[in-house]
A and B are shown apart, each in its own frame.
Chain A
Amino acid sequence: MSQKNDKDLYVPERARIVETKEMTDLEKYFRIKLLDREALGHAPGQFVMVTVYGVGEVPISVSSPPNGRSGEFELVVRKAGNVTQALHNLGTESLVGIRGPFGTNFTSKGFERKDILFIAGGIGLVPLRSFIKQVVNENKKYRKITILYGAKSPDELLFKEEMDQWGKKENVEVKITVDKGDPSWKGNVGVITTLIPPLEIDIQNTLVAVVGPPVMYKFVILSLASKKVANKNIYLSLERRMKCGVGKCGNCQIQGSYACQDGPVYCFADIEHLKEAL
């Protein structure tokens, strides 16, 4: 992992906000550049600890793929508590603190020339986007890429334009659904699991990456199970309240596993026996 120095375990590095965008009522986009280091060096699915100085620190998944613009990375932050709210009040040129990246990551290794199925619920798209972009940017390396995305309502959909762009690639299919439509919505209505039964999944040769709110996992796992997808091919990212990010503070523990070190990205086969996981 790229923790730069043991001696600075809890010391944040300085970073500058170079661009912000309001995405929805609750979500805001940040493009961030490290001041004292070239690149973040993250992998898809990893997270960073973001400091708003004097307010506190909060774990946020990196939303951009690796090897983005030099030294820059993207975050999408939902306004939910003390630190995230303060973060929303920051504009470009503001400095924030960064520790990390931390945790395990998604990888498509072993699935070249095979299929990849992404399932994102709500802001689960944010961490998954890093992996989706990595795969879609090299779409020729894979056979079929399917992206399922569900949100509560049309105005909560994130990265809609990007979704359209991804869907235009020849082997990429994007399917979007909302729990509740509005008069202008012409697409699917229903929870995300309604998109799974019609899929044709080559179960031996498909990698499934799932990120969503805690309640979504159980249902998605059930749907995938009824399609006979093997647990070892399902990867998911579990949300917990990381405080230290380095396996010490205990806040993110899932039974014997530390979500900040052994996760947040887990192979489902490794955690299916953990009752606290889902």
Chain B
Amino acid sequence: MHKISSEKFHKVLEQIIKDNETYGAVKKRDEYIYDRLETLSDLEIENYVPTVLPPKKYFYPQEEDLVQIDYKTKKANRVIFKKEIVLLGVRPCDINAISLFDRIMSDGNPDPNYLERRKHITVIGFDCVKSCWEHALCEAVGTINVKEGYDLFFSEYKKEYVIKTGSKKGEELFDRYIKNSHKLSEKERDDYHHERAERIKKFNHKVKYLFQDVSSIFEKHYDDPYWKEIGKICLMCGSCVMVCPTCYCFTMDEEVDLKLQTVTRKRKWDGCMLRDFAMVAGNHNFRPTAEMRLKHRWNRKFNYLLKKYHMSNCVGCGRCGFACLVKINPIDILNTIMGNYYSGVKHESEK
């Protein structure tokens, strides 16, 4: 662990933006989006609140060409996407989401299109010094801390910046951009961790129960009445899915070009909150109601995938809670269902 002065920090960032195609949080009108950075002044550092879309769109685009097929011979080839970009100022919640994506896409049948694109993306993270907005629950789900998914990570400490490297690429960046840094002594390091922990204590803390038992509680309260309650008001508009940094469900479609030479197979974002998602031939829908879809979506986050990947699949950014017009959000979901469990509310199957 090393640290640099605030002045140097800004110089380093300026140089990174100059040398690379760099993207970061930029204010649009009232909200922030990830967009191309021309200079450091484009980037929001102090008053960051989660962007409309997470940086997911760079390594897992809304619509992506997967395969190209010659329409005459039907010979098919994977589309290889190579473009070096840097994501600057990615926050711990989104870094955890990237790390989760990396795990999911390398697990089982590794996804070659994702992994290829991902190789060319550099992630430079910023720590959060204060709670960003009331929708966040990172401190509850344990995503305020980062272990992997980043190359470089900057954390403010006594008006200076502590730097962590998270990969070989990060070490190379460190060597290239950060000369003459001060190595933290053991005492400084302890103090840094202590101060950071104190800082996090001042965060939201809106989730009232211990998160570690969540999957077994969700399992036991599979038919909790709360699902019906929020199912009634859910608009099934899909906003929560689209703004989610960890939702990765997709659909595929293909299109021939107008010259009838090439068929392109595309991957597009899809979501379990949408009508066609669980529909099979003959229009039978395995999840026809909003209630069933909400139950599925949140069980994925807090139960099915949590068990499979050993980390919360909700990274607590709060984007869905902010986007939802009827205010369905993970904080209320956790508090209600865990609350019902602890207060012994009988769920339907027990009645």
Residues on A facing B (Cβ under 8 Å): 3, 6-14, 51, 53-57, 78, 80-81, 84, 95, 97, 214, 239-241, 243-244, 246-251, 253-256, 261, 275-276
Q: Which 6 A-B pairs have the closest CB atoms?
A: A250-B249, A80-B281, A256-B304, A54-B256, A246-B109, A10-B66
**Interface status of B272 (Cβ within 8 A of chain A):** yes
Residues on B facing A (Cβ under 8 Å): 66-67, 69, 71, 74-78, 104-105, 108-113, 222-223, 248-256, 263, 265, 267, 270, 272, 277-282, 284, 286-287, 292, 296, 299-300, 303-305, 307-308
Residue of A nearest to B222 (CB): A275
In the complex, chain A residues whose CB is within 8 Å of the CB of B71 = 53-54
14 additional contacts (CB under 8 A) given A56-B253, A250-B249, A256-B299: A9-B112, A10-B267, A11-B67, A54-B255, A56-B254, A80-B282, A81-B281, A240-B280, A241-B278, A243-B252, A246-B109, A248-B108, A248-B248, A250-B248
Q: Do A247 and B109 touch across chains, with their CB atoms under 8 A apart?
A: yes
Q: Do A57 and B252 touch across chains, with their CB atoms under 8 A apart?
A: yes
Q: Give bound CA distance, A246 to B104, whole Å.
A: 12
Q: Do A14 and B250 touch across chains, with their CB atoms under 8 A apart?
A: no
Residue of A nearest to B109 (CB): A246
Residue of B nearest to A58 (CB): B281
Residue of A nearest to B284 (CB): A214
Q: Do A53 and B74 touch across chains, with their CB atoms under 8 A apart?
A: yes
User: Could you list 30 A-B pairs, sorted by A, with CB under 8 Å?
Assistant: A6-B109, A7-B112, A8-B112, A9-B111, A9-B112, A9-B113, A10-B66, A10-B78, A10-B252, A12-B76, A13-B76, A14-B75, A53-B254, A54-B263, A57-B265, A80-B282, A241-B280, A241-B281, A243-B250, A248-B105, A248-B108, A248-B111, A248-B248, A249-B250, A249-B251, A250-B249, A253-B272, A254-B286, A255-B296, A261-B108
Q: Could you say which of A10, A275, A276 contacts B113, with CB atoms under 8 Å apart?
A: A10
Chain B interface main SS type: mixed
In the complex, chain B residues whose CB is within 8 Å of the CB of A55 = 254
Q: Give bound CA distance, A41 to B310, whole Å.
A: 34
Chain A interface main SS type: loop
Q: Give bound CA distance, A275 to B267, whole Å.
A: 30
What's the nearest-Cβ distance from chain B to residue A228, in Å?
25
Q: Could you say which of B109, B282, B304 contacts A248, with CB atoms under 8 Å apart?
A: B109
What's the nearest-Cβ distance from chain A to residue B318, in Å?
22
In the complex, chain A residues whose CB is within 8 Å of the CB of B75 = 14
Q: Do B270 and A249 touch across chains, with their CB atoms under 8 A apart?
A: yes
What's the nearest-Cβ distance from chain A to residue B107, in Å?
8
Q: Do B78 and A11 touch across chains, with their CB atoms under 8 A apart?
A: yes
Q: Do B251 and A12 touch across chains, with their CB atoms under 8 A apart?
A: no
CB-CB under 8 A for A276 and B66, given A55-B254, A248-B250, A256-B303: no
Q: Give bound CA distance, A214 to B105, whole Å.
A: 31
What's the nearest-Cβ distance from chain B to residue A103, in Å?
12
In the complex, chain B residues whose CB is within 8 Å of the CB of A10 = 66-67, 78, 113, 252, 265, 267
Q: Do B76 and A97 touch across chains, with their CB atoms under 8 A apart?
A: yes
In the complex, chain A residues whose CB is within 8 Å of the CB of B296 = 253, 255, 276
What's the nearest-Cβ distance from chain A to residue B276, in Å?
8
Q: Do B281 and A251 touch across chains, with their CB atoms under 8 A apart?
A: no
In the complex, chain B residues whose CB is within 8 Å of the CB of A244 = 250, 252
Residue of B nearest to A79 (CB): B281
Q: Give bound CA distance, A247 to B109, whole Å.
A: 7
Q: Do A8 and B299 touch across chains, with their CB atoms under 8 A apart?
A: no
In the complex, chain A residues whose CB is within 8 Å of the CB of B304 = 253, 255-256
Residue of A nearest to B104 (CB): A248
Q: Give bound CA distance, A214 to B281, whole Å.
A: 12
